[in-house]
Each structure stands twice: as C-alpha cells, then as structure tokens.
Chain A
Amino acid sequence: MSDGLLEAYDLVKDFPLDRKRCVHAVGGVSLAVNAGETLAIVGESGCGKSTLGRLLIGALPPTSGEVRFRGHTITGLKEKDFSPYRRQLQLIFQDPYASLDPRMKVRDLIAEPLVTHKVCATKDEVTQRVLGLMESVGIPLDYLNRYPHQFSGGQRQRIGIARALALDPALIVCDEPVSALDVSVQNQILNLLNELQETRGLTYVFISHDLSVVRHISDRVCVMFLGKVMEVGPTEEVFHKARHPYTQFLLGSVLLPDPHQRGRQMRLLEGEPPSPVDPPSGCCFRTRCPYATELCARQEPALRKAGDAAVACHRLTE
C-alpha cells in the first residue's frame, strides 16, 4: 500500500438519522488507487460506493480514517490548504441533467473551475482553454454559447467531463457516468474516457453497478456490500475466479444479451438486503449468504489475500 497515488486508511462515514441512530454508509474501508489505473467500485444501491467516492476526493469529510494523496494527508485540512488538492481530484456525476446549471452557457460552465481557481491570467486565455477542452471531449466549437437544455444526454455528459478536466487533475472519480445514457451513447462516452486516460495519463475511480461496463473499463475491481469491501483484485481475476459468495451472486445475476443462454441457471439471492442503520453482527453479508456459519455471526472476516485478490470471507481459510 505504498506506491498508491491515493490511499485510504480505515475510512468510516456515518450519517446521523436522529440522536441515537445513524446510517453506517462506509464502515472501515482501506484501499489504494495506483497511478494510471482504473479502479472500479461496484455494488448495489446503498452499499456506500458513491459515499466512498466522495470521501476519496475529500468532497465529504470522513467520520474517522484518513486519505493520503501522493503521501500527503488530505483529511481534515482547512479549505485554503485543501484547495491545491481539489484541483488534482475531480468528480464526474451520474446525472448530466441535474449537475449542470441550466442558466449557464457552455462556455461559462467549462470556464467556471478555471475562474474559481484563478488559473488563467486573461479572459482570452480562459476562452482558449475552454475551446481546447471542448475539442478534446468532442463538443462542436460553435456550441460555445448554448445552454445545457439544448444538448442531448451524451453531450451533457461530455460537458461534465470537460469541467472535470479543466484543472488538469490527476484523478477523477466517475460516479455512474454512463448509467443515465442509452447504450449507443454510453459506448461513445466510455471510448472518450479511455482515450482521455491514455492521452492525459489520468487515474480513474469508476463507480458503477453495471458489471459489463466495469469489466470493460477497469484494471481492478472493488466489490462493496453494506459499506464494506467484500473482494478487491484485478478485474479478470475477480470476474473469472470470484471467491466471495456475494461477488458470485452479483456475477450470476447478470442478464446475458444472448437468448441461447436462457437455460443458464441464474443464481438468485435469497432474502432482503440488511439495513445499514442496524447492520448484522460479524460478516454483513451473512444474513443472505447460503454458506453462513456460526463463526460468521460472531466475527467479522478481515480482508485476506487470495491469489492476486483480497477477500473478506471466513470460508477462504478452510
């Protein structure tokens, strides 16, 4: 865990509900993001993947734990001290409809981060940078004075990407960047992200629930359940040799776009998801796990090395 660009140590995030109770969104996550890689965070809604993404770039303060960027602690910094790191750590949102100010023109939307961080000396320089960004994300340059509602979903996502790129960041957290898009457009955006990574040497944390997208884009995958990491490892290893029962179920429930494989037995998960307000004792997956034993209820499994991956399951030691 030393050569990482970004490292998280035992990150915890609780959101209080009332005086007594709170939602345990992220429950002690440690991981490293290596320079130049794409690390995917997968899991179902409410598993804490978006919260983790925001914790990683300092957009949310953790309840406890620490994030280090290039070895420097970025947790608990004052706004003034954090500002240079914010330029390095950017975010792309899922919903291109909701994340752009409808009253701003494209030129102002893309210029906003440049102006806020006072990157350019003159107005001309800002315009030049904006045009350059528009070109690199594939928005026609004559759309400079258009408003967000004049664009399609895919183009709006391109604007969101241009905004994230404006400050030349080292790492971008992409939070479900293609989930709101149609299949044909989704692939255009994925190709663009790939191309930008190659030309600019970007590092991505790619949050998604879509396993086929994750398999295509990521180098490593981190599978989360109820705020905890269940399994983390190289993408091909996790997809081919899923060791954690939850990963196996997740992969088993993919609906293959092939009518000839209808006979394939889908692995259906039993029961209902546990509550993040009152998580089960021991392993948080045990209430849905067909292999759960008495040990699973008593003791929380630690992430242990298995092959090139790390897995949090008691069955592995047997």
Chain B
Amino acid sequence: MLNSTLEVSHLCTSFFTDRGEVKAVDDVSLRVDKGQVVGIVGESGCGKSMVARSVMGLVKKPGKIVGGSIVLNGQELTSLDDKELCEVRGRDVSMVFQEPMTSLNPTMRVGRQVQEVVAIHEQVSKEQARQRTLEILSAVGIPEVEARYDAYPHELSGGLRQRVMIAMAMIMRPSLLIADEPTTALDATVEAQIIALLKRLAHTGTSVLIISHNLGVIAQLADYVYVMYAGRIVEKADVCELFDNPLHPYTHGLLGAVSSLRSQSKVLQTIPGVVPNLANLPAGCSFAPRCDRCMAACDSVRPELVTVGAGHELCCHLTKGVDVL
C-alpha cells in the first residue's frame, strides 16, 4: 500500500444534465506507484481528463464524483473539503494542462505566478521564495531566468510557457504530477523537448500520470498504460506488452490506425463509426457498434475487466476465447 502514490478505486464521476446522468468516468480503478509513469490513452470524450480532474478535486458542477475512492499517499481525497483540498493541491499533487496560454494569468509576471505557489503552502521570506522560483525555472530548462522571471506570459513562446507551468507544478516537489495532454498544443520540436523534460522529472522520483490521445507520447513516456473508452478502462498493461500484444479490438484498432500511417499501404486502417454519445450508451459493451469482432453477447452483456496475463487486464467478451497465460 505504501508503495503506491495514487490509488483510485471504482471511481465514478457523473454529469447531471437536462438529458439525464452522463457517466463521464464509470468504475475506473488505477494505481500509480512511486516513481512510476502511468499513461491513460483514449480519444476525445473518453473520460481521461475527467479522471485527472477528479483526482485534483476540480470537477465542476453539474459534474460530481458519485462513487469510489481516491487515495493519495495514504490520504483519502474524496472526503476532503475545499480548504483541505487546497492544501493538498500544489503540495502533494499538481497538474499541467494542455493549453499553457489559458492556464497562466496574462496580467501577472510569470515569476510571481510560480512564487505564489510557495507563498500559499509555506511561510518563507520573499527573497527565499524568489530564490526557489529561479532555481525551479532553470531546472525546467528556461534560459536567462533572471530576465524571464519578470516576463509576462504573452512574451514567452508556447514551449517556454509550458515549462513555466511545469515549474509551477513542480516547485513544491509534489509526489504526483498529472500531465493532461501537456504537448498537444505544441510544435513537434518543442513537444520532444517537453517530453524529454518530463522523462527527466520521472527519473528524479516523481510519479507521473500522463494523459494523452497521442500513442507516440505514451510509448515514449509511460511505464504502464490504461486504455479508456466511453468512460471505462477497456485494457491495461505494461507499455511494451500493450504495444506488442494489444488484445482489445479498440486498442488493436488504435494501434493499427497509427502504424498503418507508417506502412506502405495506400488505404489506412480505420475504426468505423464514431465515438458513442455518453448520454446514450449501448446496454452491452460500449465499443460493440464499432467492433469488427462483435458477438451476440456484446450487445446485451457488459464485459468486466479480467486478468489475461502478467499485469495485463482486458474488458472484452473475447477473453473467453483467449488463452490465459
């Protein structure tokens, strides 16, 4: 138990809309061990960001965590009130968002924004806080930190802004860093720099939960991967196992779609259809309408996660036909 930084069990987060309850996260369990990089991969609307927001206590109305538990370093987070959550956020767990321009305050110099995090959590002198800010800014690879300390966000490039965000997230040395599509808004060459930086942070013992739709990011960064579809975990495995031996038809389709881009074939592999509407999911497996291996049971019976190999779990009726290792 002490080995895990984050343990999420049976988390359910729902949105209560005019059209009824929408289960954005439906019975999701995951764990992040100390110093481990865990990835969640899935397409837009699969609920991967809502898992992150639930952990951070950032689910906004009409959304609500309706069940399950979130334990961070032995502390249950779902029962904390706003004030207690504020103490945890930034100190024990912090988050880097997709769009650095909208997550930074455009009217504040970046140095002050980073320094603010220290001031909230610790009693330190201004000079100490400034010193620590300069240290973390240069640790995340920002050149000429003294000058950049006084810059406004709009004066920085996208890559530098994301580094500032990471500095802000890392300044209290949290045990868990959640990165939600941290490179999606960035250019290829900058993306590679940020991924290298996150890799370096993970080597210093910080646990990282990386959320991405990009299988390249996941392959390069994550040790263990959860695949989400329509609010649920459909497959989870060690990164190499998942890429070498994807068992869920959805994972198979995703990897096929990406790898066929790299092949010589003229016609690319696709997954037919579209991502289902979470407000109106099929009774059985959510992926059944798009699945090329759909059977009679898939339309009526919802599959559960079953262990199919060492650390490899699968949520699919096909498991019955798969040899359990």
Within 8 A of A (CB), among B264-279: 266-272, 274-275
Contact B217 A255 (CB under 8 A): yes
Q: Decide yes or no whether B291 CB sits under 8 A from chain A.
A: no
Contact B157 A272 (CB under 8 A): yes
Q: Mark B211-255, 1 if CB is under 8 A from A, else 0.
A: 001111111101000000000000000011001000000000111
A215 to chain B, nearest CB (A): 7
Known: A182-B43, A257-B243. A269 touches B274 (CB 8 A): no
| CB-defined contacts of A269 to chain B, threshold 8 Å | 189, 192-193
Q: Decide yes or no whether B257 CB sits under 8 A from chain A.
A: yes
Contact A255 B219 (CB under 8 A): yes
Known: A183-B257, A183-B258, A253-B188. A190 touches B216 (CB 8 A): no
Find A184's partner among B217, B239, B270 (CB 8 Å cutoff): B270
| CB-defined contacts of A154 to chain B, threshold 8 Å | 274
Q: Mark A211-228, 1 if CB is under 8 A from B, else 0.
A: 111011000000000000
A interface, over-half SS: helix
A279 to chain B, nearest CB (A): 15
Q: Decide yes or no whether A155 CB sits under 8 A from chain B.
A: yes
Contact A209 B261 (CB under 8 A): no
- Closest residue of chain A to B263 (Cβ to Cβ) is A216
Contact A255 B192 (CB under 8 A): yes
B212 to chain A, nearest CB (A): 10
| CB-defined contacts of A267 to chain B, threshold 8 Å | 192
Contact B268 A191 (CB under 8 A): yes
Q: Decide yes or no whether A260 CB sits under 8 A from chain B.
A: yes
Contact B261 A212 (CB under 8 A): yes
Q: Decide yes or no whether B99 CB sits under 8 A from chain A.
A: no
- Closest residue of chain A to B262 (Cβ to Cβ) is A212
A160 to chain B, nearest CB (A): 16
Find A211's partner among B158, B188, B220, B243 (CB 8 Å cutoff): B188
Known: A44-B189, A45-B187. A187 touches B196 (CB 8 A): no
- Closest residue of chain B to A211 (Cβ to Cβ) is B188
Contact A256 B219 (CB under 8 A): yes
Q: Decide yes or no whether A293 CB sits under 8 A from chain B.
A: no
Contact B187 A187 (CB under 8 A): no
Q: How far is the CA of A238 from the CA of B68 in the complex (A)?
A: 52
Q: Decide yes or no whether A262 CB sits under 8 A from chain B.
A: yes
Q: Decide yes or no whether A60 CB sits under 8 A from chain B.
A: no
Contact B191 A255 (CB under 8 A): yes
Contact B160 A272 (CB under 8 A): yes
Known: A188-B270, A194-B266. A183 touches B191 (CB 8 A): no
| CB-defined contacts of A153 to chain B, threshold 8 Å | 44
Within 8 A of B (CB), among A231-274: 249-250, 252-262, 266-269, 271-273
Find A253's partner among B189, B222, B260, B262 (CB 8 Å cutoff): B189
- Closest residue of chain B to A272 (Cβ to Cβ) is B157
Contact B192 A268 (CB under 8 A): yes
Contact B217 A155 (CB under 8 A): no
Q: How far is the CA of A191 from the CA of B188 in the complex (A)?
A: 24
Contact B213 A183 (CB under 8 A): yes
Find A256's partner among B158, B216, B240, B266 (CB 8 Å cutoff): B216
Q: How far is the CA of A255 from the CA of B159 in the complex (A)?
A: 16
Within 8 A of B (CB), among A143-178: 152-155
A292 to chain B, nearest CB (A): 17
Contact B193 A216 (CB under 8 A): no
Contact A152 B192 (CB under 8 A): no
- Closest residue of chain B to A180 (Cβ to Cβ) is B44
Q: How far is the CA of A76 from the CA of B168 in the complex (A)?
A: 51
Contact A216 B268 (CB under 8 A): yes
Known: A255-B217, A258-B219, A259-B240. A183 touches B254 (CB 8 A): yes
Q: Mark B93-132, 1 if CB is under 8 A from A, else 0.
A: 0000000000000000000000000000000000000000
- Closest residue of chain B to A251 (Cβ to Cβ) is B188
Q: Decide yes or no whether B280 CB sits under 8 A from chain A.
A: no
Q: Decide yes or no whether A185 CB sits under 8 A from chain B.
A: yes
Find B188's partner among A254, A256, A257 (CB 8 Å cutoff): A254
A299 to chain B, nearest CB (A): 25
Find B192's partner among A216, A253, A262, A272 (CB 8 Å cutoff): A253
Known: A45-B187, A257-B219. A185 touches B274 (CB 8 A): yes
Contact B195 A255 (CB under 8 A): yes
Q: Show 16 A/B contacts (Cβ-Cβ < 8 Å), sorted by A.
A: A155-B274, A183-B215, A183-B257, A187-B261, A188-B270, A209-B188, A212-B261, A256-B219, A257-B215, A257-B258, A257-B259, A258-B243, A260-B243, A262-B219, A272-B157, A272-B159
**Residues of B near any A CB (own CB < 8 A):** 43-44, 143, 157-160, 187-193, 195-196, 213-220, 222, 239-240, 243, 253-255, 257-262, 266-272, 274-275
Given A188-B272, A253-B192, 10 more A-B residue pairs with CB atoms under 8 Å apart are A44-B188, A152-B275, A154-B274, A187-B260, A216-B268, A255-B220, A256-B216, A257-B219, A259-B220, A266-B192
**Residues of A near any B CB (own CB < 8 A):** 44-45, 152-155, 182-188, 190-191, 194, 209, 211-213, 215-216, 249-250, 252-262, 266-269, 271-273
